[in-house]
A and B are shown apart, each in its own frame.
Chain A
Amino acid sequence: MSFRKASILPGFGLTFGFTTFFLSVIVLLPLAALTLAAASMHWSDFVHVVLSPRALGSYRLSFGASFLAAAINLVFGLIIAWTLVRYEFPARKLIDALIDMPFALPTAVSGIALTTVFAHNGWIGRFLEPWGVRIAYTWLGVTLALTLITMPFVVRAVQPALLEVQRDLEDAAETLGAGRIYVARRIILPTVLPSLLTGFTLAFARALGEYGSVIFIAGNLPMKTEITPLLIVIHLEEFDYQGAAALGVVMLVISFVVLFAINLLQAWGRRQQVRAAH
């Protein structure tokens, strides 16, 4: 049996057993049930539900807005993490704690708060209204809500990596003649890139599943501002469990493919680095 390799650490059998058990009960079993529920549908019904224009519209919004939100956080999360790691300023600890607020807040509260601020008569919305920019009840609002909810992921993933970039490295690069942008591009970015990608993946995954905050600000117009999780809920409310399950399976498959692809990308990046070593 080559499966159980001799290890210095004892307890492999126990921990591996626990891992599979836990994963099965908490993750795999419910997913299997979901797939099973969808599988009991007739194929043509499945295709009908899954490829209906309304469903297609919701995929576009869900994946598009999630991707956009994660991308926005990639940039701004990096800047926030940089500020928190590199500078000493009053209330730094306070701001650092604020980063985690979107985790703690019930997502519905975030959604309501955002709507209050960005509705056409809200604090910020009323100033955007004359410019013809509407945020609440458009795809922009959806993206905004997802950005807020997923912001902590990138910041928290990048912070430790940035801490590791020693000042000395930048100083060394500077004495060797490198300008600030060159240092950022060639020294800092390569060091934080893996954790930046991790943060992006986490943010994207979380945004796909987000429901609570979005439904308040989205307006939920079919084809326009309706996200897939909402469409699933609508199916459920009509007691169409199979339709809901079918949409769920599609979400599941696409999410898995995307996340797996990002993981592969990361692994490839690591291998490139190791290859350079030999």
Chain B
Amino acid sequence: MSITLDQVTKHYGGVPVVNDVSLDIGDGEFFVLLGPSGSGKSTLLRAIAGLTGVDHGRIALHGRDVTHVAARKRGVGLVFQNYALFRHMTVAENIEFALRVRHVRARERSRRRQELLRLVALEGLDQRLPAQLSGGQQQRVAVARALAHKPEVLLLDEPFGALDAKIREELRRTIRQVQRELGITTVLVTHDQEEAFAMADRIGIMNHGRLLEMGAPHDLYSRPATRFVATFLGAANLLLARRTPDGIQMGVSTVAAAERSPDLGEHEVVAVVRPEEVELAASRDALKSGYLARGVVDEVMFSGALESLRVRLANGAQAPLLAHANGAAGASLQVTRTQPEQRGFEVRPGQEVAIGVRRVHVLPTPLSSFTACAVSAALAEALSRQPLLAELAARMHTRIAPRVEPHLGVPDAPSATDEPSVGATAIAGGSDCSRRAEWLLRRGAREVLVLPEQPAVPQRVLIHWMSDASRSATLAVSASVLRHVAAEAVYVSIFPEERAGEQRHGLRELLDARSEAQLAHGLEMRTELRFGDVASELARRLAEAPAQMLIVGLSDLTGFAASFRVLLETGQWPVLIVYRASP
């Protein structure tokens, strides 16, 4: 492996900007770190270069641990967005800088310079000053300069950001060519997905400091695992659907899923429909693909090869739900159509059409949507506007549906609806909330989020499960939450005091949990081992610092209210309970 990162973490002012990133980049690989601005990708690159220290974790280059090695001894080449050429030096002096520092002989220096100038197609410009070159030429010089000392790794920090489209294209090709010719391991940081697709062998997508997913461009595009990747990498319509034994049910129609997923019974899922996988036709019978719903064309935009449209879904009880629209009327679907499709069926704004879906991809996330549950409509409405809940839903591109349960918390009272609960159910914290949570869990809720009055967006998420049966589900839910908040994950394992002798077993469990989180969910987490009563240890840990959240897994509700009352009803921390009844 050329570059190995192990749980690399960097904080600025308490906020993790790079959060537990682990990554292996192979020899000669072209790896692209893609993410929106502020996602921590540049910080990660600077950490690899050695210009930014890390708070936690290890960095190895070609098997050599360089975590504490100075940048100048790491043997990397770095190219900056603003070129960072030495303006008082000529092109030749710039390129030879690294060699001069290393006291390389003049003859050898100039030989190497000629070689590099040929590589970046700038022969004959040796004696120019940077100010006399165009932006594209300057960046070529910067690439040549970064390669002069034959680094093992080439790092490019948004190298095309300051260039216009045509030059950018040209320089991309040059860099890809140089990279192939030298076979040098390269990491490129960008926020431009087109650039990532064009250059990468493999893409890693970052958001909120976390490396969410990585893979070959095509795999990531066709089978994203997270909402963020689905919507960031190209456009995507996110629909709330139900997984049934027959397929994916969206509204009245059932569409066969593109791939099988582990059978978890019938439950709500998030379906990704790419705009180009949507088919439009005059009637349901004219569709070649699975029928989704009827809709009205809102907007048609011609953009050369493709036509992009917005199609408003018809309202109705059985209409499919767009996840991000929060159930609002007038939610519209993004559609793109090729020229042949346009010729086959021309549409105008205002026209009514039948919508079909060619391909559906289901996200493996267990948190599909939220319901805000209270005893009255007004309270449920108020709860759905609760800042943390609203923030979470917005970040997850999902909706908050109100749910009224007049008998919420009254023992033995039936639920107001017969339908199985969908998504995670949020309730207000405070007195009696443990009874309300238990009431919901006993009536089919799989996740219950208890929200105190003024919770902050968490900076640390504590994870704990009471039994192994709930482990996988807890990890999956935790991973889903942590993809959307810039928080560090800490798995807390708690042993009863009298079993303190079984420490070895406890450590084994910690390691197992960590590796499962990493393998199955791409979730990196820290681990802690504590001794004592579970609920009071958790409460003590939560009280240690502000802005923490707890995710706790259960598979048995016996004695729930008794043991969790204090934990749930006294603190200012949100608690997400994940309940999977043991089989």
CB contact between B102 and one of A173, A177, A186, A276 (< 8 Å): that residue: A177
CB contact between A273 and one of B49, B80, B88, B127 (< 8 Å): that residue: B88
Q: Which A residues are CB-close (under 8 A) to B72? A: 174-179
**Please, how many angstroms separate the alpha-carbon atoms of A166 and B87 in the complex?**
11
The residue in chain B whose Cβ has the minimal distance to the Cβ of A273 is B88
The residue in chain B whose Cβ has the minimal distance to the Cβ of A164 is B87
**B197 interface residue per 8 A CB criterion:** no
Q: Mark B138-173, 1 if CB is under 8 A from A, else 0.
A: 000010011011000000000000000000000000
**A91 interface residue per 8 A CB criterion:** no
Q: A176-B145, A190-B88 are in contact. Are A171 and B78 (CB under 8 A)?
A: yes
**A4 interface residue per 8 A CB criterion:** no
Q: Are A191 and B77 in contact (CB under 8 A)?
A: no
Q: Mark B26-56, 1 if CB is under 8 A from A, else 0.
A: 0000000000000000000010011100000
Q: A168-B80, A171-B78 are in contact. Are A176 and B148 (CB under 8 A)?
A: yes
Q: Which A residues are CB-close (under 8 A) to B76? A: 175
Q: Are B84 and A168 in contact (CB under 8 A)?
A: yes
**A182 interface residue per 8 A CB criterion:** yes
Q: Are A277 and B90 in contact (CB under 8 A)?
A: yes
Q: Are B127 and A171 in contact (CB under 8 A)?
A: no
Q: Mark A174-205, 1 if CB is under 8 A from B, else 0.
A: 11111100100011001100000000000000
Q: Mark B63-86, 1 if CB is under 8 A from A, else 0.
A: 000000011111011101010101
Q: Are A191 and B82 in contact (CB under 8 A)?
A: no
The residue in chain B whose Cβ has the minimal distance to the Cβ of A180 is B72
Q: Are A171 and B101 in contact (CB under 8 A)?
A: no
Q: Are A178 and B77 in contact (CB under 8 A)?
A: no
CB contact between B97 and one of A166, A178, A191, A278 (< 8 Å): that residue: A178
Q: Are B146 and A175 in contact (CB under 8 A)?
A: yes
CB contact between B77 and one of A175, A273, A276 (< 8 Å): that residue: A175
Q: Which A residues are CB-close (under 8 A) to B142? A: 172
For chain B, residues 516 to 530, give those with C-beta under 8 angstroms from any C-beta of chain A: none
Q: Are A177 and B101 in contact (CB under 8 A)?
A: yes
**A169 interface residue per 8 A CB criterion:** yes
Q: Which A residues are CB-close (under 8 A) to B129? A: 276-277
B86 to chain A, nearest CB (A): 6
Query: In the complex, which of the residues A175, A190, A273, A278 has the most CB atoms of chain B within 10 Å of its own CB atom?
Result: A175
CB within 8 Å of A: which residues of B? 46, 49-51, 70-74, 76-78, 80, 82, 84, 86-88, 90, 97-98, 101-102, 127-129, 131-132, 142, 145-146, 148-149
CB within 8 Å of B: which residues of A? 166, 168-169, 171-179, 182, 186-187, 190-191, 273, 276-278
Closest CB pairs A-B (n = 9): A168-B84, A176-B98, A172-B84, A277-B129, A175-B78, A177-B101, A174-B71, A190-B88, A177-B72
